[in-house]
Amino acid sequence: FYGHINSRLGQISNIQQFFGDTALTTRNTTSQFSDDYSHRIGGKVRYKIDSTSELTYTPSVTIRKSLSDRDFVSEAYNNFQPKLNKSNNLQHAESNTIGYSHDIYYNKSFRKKGRALNITNYLNTSSNDNDQVNDVDNIFFQPQEFVTSLDQLRSRDQNTFRATVNVTYSEPISKNLTLRASNNADYFSDNDDIITYNRPQNGGKYDSLNNQLSNGFKRSGFRNNAALGIRWKLGKVTIGPSVNLQTIDIDNRFVKNSPINQNFTFVLPSLTVQWYSFNFNYRVYAQEPNVNDLQPVQDNTNPLFIQLGNPNLVPAVTHNVSLNFYKYDTKRSITYNSYI
């Protein structure tokens, strides 16, 4: 598959923040032209090993190139001051990404009804190079008017790798009771290098290294989730409680900062209930922070909204509750589906 998307964006937004008797309004105006080129190559191989087992392999390769030019204007004022600041931000960005992923699925059934073994492997690796040029003029009106300028090249190279193996085994204990055991092992590795160059005031190339806005970061870790549960059928109702032992071990290393090692252990419950066409799901899981939220380098591409990562962030524990309804009317060929 080859695709090319040429897009134009015009956007105006107003953001209001309230601090006591002060209402701060930020008005952002965006005009952007983008070109996105993507090429995806994929396939699928299915191999039936014998009458009780099957192996499926689904690989995919993605190549992508993105170009964008953006004119971003931001103005701020409050109910006491009609003008606080204004920023004119011209941005040019180029991004190149190449990635590979695959799914390997092995399924084995047994003569005993209800007994099953499933093994799944998922792998994803990608490399992204992003260069962004910012030419910015900022005007501040309080306490007196003054102007600041920014002309820089921010080069960011990111490499990610994920490999997951999941093994699930089901064993019927009785006609209405099935024991389920699973283990999910996940290895992840991220590299994030940021180098920022300033442009001399007399023009020329972006060759003046800004050491304060440059850093390198590497994270590697292992996440393991072992679960044990049952599937209990009570008439028209099927209940599936389980308990999960999740461990996360992370090694964070920086070019400038000291390394940070993190180890976490969680005991987490989950529950599924099925009644006719209704499905209720409750799940608790822990997720490590996104690599973008850990990078301890200021992102000043919007000088009025500077972002800074926190390398001391810990995994977030999320409680997920959902209720689904699904029914297919065979006579009318109508599907009914809703969820909350």
Q: Which of 124, 219, 240, 227 is nearest to 184 (CA)?
A: 227
Q: pLDDT averaged over consecutive 10-residue blocks of the chain (340 residues)?
A: 94 94 95 96 95 95 97 94 93 97 96 93 97 95 90 96 97 93 97 94 87 93 96 92 96 91 95 92 92 88 88 93 86 79
What the block records as the tokens of 207 is 């060759």
Quick one: the chain helix, strand, coil %, rounded to 5?
0, 75, 20
Count how many Cα atoms sit within 13 Å of the Cα of residue 134 in the half-sphere of its side chain. Answer: 21
CA distances from 238 to 241, 242, 275, 337 (A): 10, 13, 7, 20
Instruction: Give the pLDDT of residue 340.
Output: 77
What the block records as the tokens of 237 is 């109702």
pTM: 0.83
Tokens 């549960």: give the residue: 229
CB contact at 8 A, 196 and 213: yes
Q: What sign for the dihedral angle of Cα 331, 334, 335, 337?
A: negative
Contacts within 8 Å (CB) and 24+ apart, 179-184: 179/228, 179/229, 179/230, 180/227, 180/228, 180/229, 180/230, 180/231, 180/240, 180/242, 181/227, 181/228, 182/226, 182/227, 183/224, 183/225, 183/226, 183/227, 184/223, 184/224, 184/225, 184/226, 184/227
- Number of domains comprising the chain: 1
Tokens 């099925």: give the residue: 274
Instruction: Give the pLDDT of residue 331.
Output: 78
What the block records as the tokens of 53 is 């087992």
Instruction: Give the pLDDT of residue 25.
Output: 95
Return the CA Rg of the chain.
26
Q: What sign for the dihedral angle of Cα 202, 206, 208, 211?
A: positive
Structural domain boundaries, residue 224: 2-339
Instruction: Give the pLDDT of residue 38.
Output: 96
- Could you give the 3-state DSSP secondary structure of residue 298? coil
